[in-house]
Structure 1
Amino acid sequence: MTPHPSQTYARPQSFDRLLCLIATLAQYPGVGHLTGHSRLQELLIYLHSVATQQQIVLPPCSPHTLHKDLQTLRHYGILSNQMYRWGYYLGPSAMTEVEFNTALSALYSQATYQRDPQAQEVFNSISQRRWGKSQGSKGLAHFYPVRAQINRSITPTDPTQVSRRGSATRTLYSALDTLETAILKGEALQIHRISDPYQQGQSDPGSRSQKGSKSIWPLQLIHYDIAWYLAYEQCDTQHLVIGRLDRFDDQCQVLSLPTRSRSQQLQRLQQVHELLENGWGLFLGEPEEQRQELRGQLPLTEITVRFYGNTIAFIHEGGYRHPSQKILTSSGHSQYVDYQVRLPPRSHGEFLRWVNRFMGNVQILTPAGLAEQHAHWAEEQLQRYRSGKQSDPGSGSQKVT
């Protein structure tokens, strides 16, 4: 048997023990979370396990010796001088303080605004180890979230929150562990769609799929604007879809199909993001047009929209809204700006809904069909205002709450 490198020359056993201790803290963050002497006993068990894995023979040592080793790590700044009541943790010793706070800020945003219970659990765990107390109002004094992504989920995602409110509806978000495992292992799943609010001839920004069971390859969890979505490939049609998690129930079973490799999963995920980059919004198209688009055989539509008034500055600010966009300003016509973009037909509906945000400050110039649709919607809106009853300001009968 080839001797381990540590055994080819003589060196102090305390050196090997210190290195194994550092390796233990790196591999098992939070080890030693128990109280009293049992905390060090737990650390000793993990220490000898790591040494065995590395084929290093450590002589028996007492908790007192281990306590002195921990003091040595504190002396050299590998551990801080805090009390490790929630387990030993290298913390920012594995990264700079700026890197650590940046990563923690992203985790805090995901936990707070996107309501990700897993992110919240990880954030709380790291915070306890890092600062030695729970993250209540006092604990947050140690951490300032310099950066944030405020995209709030409009649907509940925390299972305990759902249970507390007495909601009987459980969604696919409740099966998050199964989804994440299947994504990483390349497993096929059967999921069940229970809601399809856009089936009446309107394109769902997340999916056009109908209700019922589906066999899929899950590819990625995506938080977009107001909700969590799942990007997946349908097993029978190879159709790539993005569907909102709360439109599926929590029935999620692993299918007995051969697993896919990581490279196969990544290849299909890259195609999802290629479609997202080409389009506008989350709808990835119907199967045949999607295949044509991925082969580069689907003609794109050049859309020109004219913006007026106080929207001009807003349009100029968005230099990266879409990779194909052009912002055209004619000399002598500062009262408007033309915005051009090339989109596949599948994205026309979502783009038109974005244009509608600007109401009277926008006009679609081309193509003619999209301009007519926009004008028709504007006429319908105007007709509603003209035909609606005017409320008496003093009556309060039409008060909006």
Structure 2
Amino acid sequence: MESLLEELKRKLGSDADWYCENDELSGEPVTLLGLGSLIDVFETKESIRKYLTSAPGRERPENRFLGFSEEARTAEEAIEAILSGKLLVFRARTGECWIAEPVAKPLMRQIGTPNIENVVPGPVAAFTEDIRSNIGIARQYLQSGNLRVEMKAIGAAHRIDVAVLYVEGRADTVFLGKLNERLQEGKNGDVSTLQGLIRVLGFPMRSIVSRLQSTELPAEAVGALKKGRVVLFVDRMPYALVLPTQLWDLFALESDLNFPRPIMYALRALRLIGALITILLPALYVALVAVNPEALRIQLALSVAQSREGVPYPALLETLLLLLIIELILEGSIRLPKSVGPTITMVGGIVLGQAVVTAKLVSNLLIIILAATTIANSAIAGFQNSYTIRSLKYVTLLLAAVFGVLGIFAGFLLICAYFASQHTYGVSYVQLRFAKDELPHG
């Protein structure tokens, strides 16, 4: 064990936050090892001493030391424990190395409000980067004895905890088996990013349909658990990942159930209309202006032609140019600080829009159409889902520029076929329901 101590000092001793101190516990000399950046050393030592003082005569098993429950027998186990924030206690007499739960430094932020998803009716708590806090939040929202939590450590160079949550009796056992099999096969993969997790789970990397529905809201994650879905928590990711994902996720939110039923249906119908507007409206403009103007009534055709008077570009290039500007504005407003983002939106939406119309680079009608398209895209549920719909509108746009209105129908049919071809471990993306809406008794 002395060689193990020397090996730990050789590998970690050069770090600035390395903590190594000789001490005495219950009259026995020990060496305390850990990382001072992860451990509150003073509070930890005080906690151990209070425990020993309060129960000096407590009998402990012979294979335990001062109540510590786990022993590190190899250098790999000891290093893994140190890097995960544990305190190592070496016994000088016996050469044993015990792993203690220290008082950790508060490195994670407190539970706050969501930054991306907004909720009008419903709880506004959000998940944090601490996986155990997220599990606790889920248990608090779903107080059921059927809720099961499985923890898995994934990664070769550095281990990251992944928690799998499901409701026993509700989740599909075949689906769970395939998920656990993938996690076992990819136990040496990197899950520090969503792309890495998707690779570990065996999902196609080039698909624009997300296989993992992310949410910051505990109510949405718990609602998915009640419906028989599986929720993943990845350490240091401040959101829950729900799978399998389905097309209905674009239009339905758990918070909709806090409205009266007619209003709930109206809200979901609005999101559906928003998705259709996003995919079809720019393509319809290009088709009716450039390919099939005879489909318009004469008065409307003349009005459209008058709005494009002096515009030097064809309808497709005009639309792509303005769509590119809108995409840049949206991306810039997300990346910039919150104090600057609204200014960029105002400059891009008002000043730049008015300038390009005055300069006769685009038509007034196209400004109206693309503004409506951008607003409609924002009505879709789920931030990552809006990216999917934003990408698909270019399919119908390009086909409409070549085949006109017929190209729009063909593009929409291709999109529907693409959605129908997507599946998650055998669960179709266009399947409306994955399970019933009631929890089992127990």
TM-score, normalized by length of structure 1?
Answer: 0.26
